[in-house]
């Protein structure tokens, strides 16, 4: 099965309601219909409004930036998978480095979130990646392997087949420093081999693996040309419609 090309924009905690609706519409207006899937991962206040925008294009989808591991309950400030599904969300980002660092999320918790997302027909975009100290110590491969094994490898082959993996070197997120195409390819090939060892070559070959970390129009084409890089999880550049569309056009 051919792997999907995906460019997902993670708005993080940015954009007022009106700003978010405007940028989503600008992206929808400028997005050519193609095999490349564009995903908008917005703050919660935008999801309902942006849901009506993404319906204008078959290759434009909506994502949440997180979900809670429980179906419902007394969890003030959290959001459930049922709530997300009710406003048309199809994807959910899980395990972003900022969630791991600032909110203490670990693989045990993320495995629960992956399970509840899949149980509600949401497709996880599962993030992994290493910090600078781990990279410099030469432990980046084993670190990422532990993140993927702990958060995903309890899944059945059928469930794993719906997961998108996003590799984000933490030292390149929001820093302006980008992993070289060779560094990105090395890690993506390693992740794909890890998946192959667990689930077989067919599932591995069909798994979309995104690169995230200061992706911008100037470097997207070279990054996306690597054999095992299937697209990007884009932060700052997704907040400008022209930049986000230019990254999508890199395919």
Q: Which two structure tokens, joined as six digits, stand for 90?
A: 């199809």
Structure confidence at residue 176 (pLDDT): 79
**Average of per-residue pLDDT across 60-77:** 98
What DSSP assignment string belongs to the chain? -PPPEEEEEE--S---HHHHHHHHHHHHHHPPPSSEEEEEE--GGGHHHHHHHHTT-TTEEEEES---SSSSSS-TT---HHHHHHTT--EEEES-HHHHHHH---HHHHHHHHHHHHHTTPEEEEEE---HHHHHTT-HHHHHHHHHHHHHTTS-HHHHTTPEEEE--GGGSSSS----HHHHHHHHHHHHHHHHHHH-HHHHHH--EEE-SS--HHHHHHHHTSTT--EEEESGGGGSHHHHHHHHTT-
Q: What are the structural domains, with CATH classification, of the chain? A: 5-248 (3.20.20.70)
Structure confidence at residue 25 (pLDDT): 98
Q: Is the pLDDT of residue 179 over 90?
A: no
**Average of per-residue pLDDT across 8-19:** 98
For residue 238, which of 35, 32, 40, 37 has the smallest C-alpha distance? Answer: 40
pLDDT category at 1 given cuts 50, 70, 90 is low
pLDDT tens, residue by residue, 77-131: 999 999 999 999 999 999 999 999 999 999 999 999 999 999 999 999 999 999 9
**Average of per-residue pLDDT across 31-57:** 97
Mean pLDDT of the chain, nearest integer? 96
Percent pLDDT > 90 in the chain is 94
Structure confidence at residue 200 (pLDDT): 98
Residues labelled catalytic: 96, 168
């Amino acid at each position: 099965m051919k792997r999907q090309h995906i460019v997902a924009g993670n708005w993080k905690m940015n954009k007022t309601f009106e700003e978010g609706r405007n940028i989503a519409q600008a992206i929808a207006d400028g997005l050519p219909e193609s095999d490349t899937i564009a995903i908008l991962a917005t703050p919660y206040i935008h999801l309902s409004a942006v849901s009506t925008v993404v319906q204008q294009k078959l290759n434009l989808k909506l994502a949440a930036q997180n979900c809670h591991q429980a179906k419902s309950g007394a969890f003030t400030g959290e959001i459930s998978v049922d709530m997300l599904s009710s406003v048309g969300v199809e994807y959910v980002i899980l395990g972003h480095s900022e969630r791991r660092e600032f909110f203490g999320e670990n693989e045990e918790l993320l495995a629960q979130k992956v399970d509840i997302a899949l149980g509600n027909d949401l497709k996880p975009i599962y993030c992994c990646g290493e910090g600078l100290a781990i990279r410099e110590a030469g432990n980046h491969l084993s670190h990422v392997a532990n993140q993927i094994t702990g958060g995903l490898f309890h899944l059945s082959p059928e469930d794993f087949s719906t997961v998108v993996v996003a590799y984000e070197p933490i030292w390149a997120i929001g820093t302006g420093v980008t992993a070289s195409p060779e560094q990105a390819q090395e890690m993506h090939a390693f992740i794909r081999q890890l998946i192959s060892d667990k689930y077989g070559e067919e599932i591995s070959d069909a798994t979309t693996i995104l690169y995230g970390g200061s992706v911008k129009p100037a470097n997207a084409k070279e990054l996306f040309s690597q054999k095992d890089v299937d697209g990007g999880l884009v932060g700052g550049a997704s907040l400008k419609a022209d930049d986000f569309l230019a990254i999508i056009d890199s395919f």
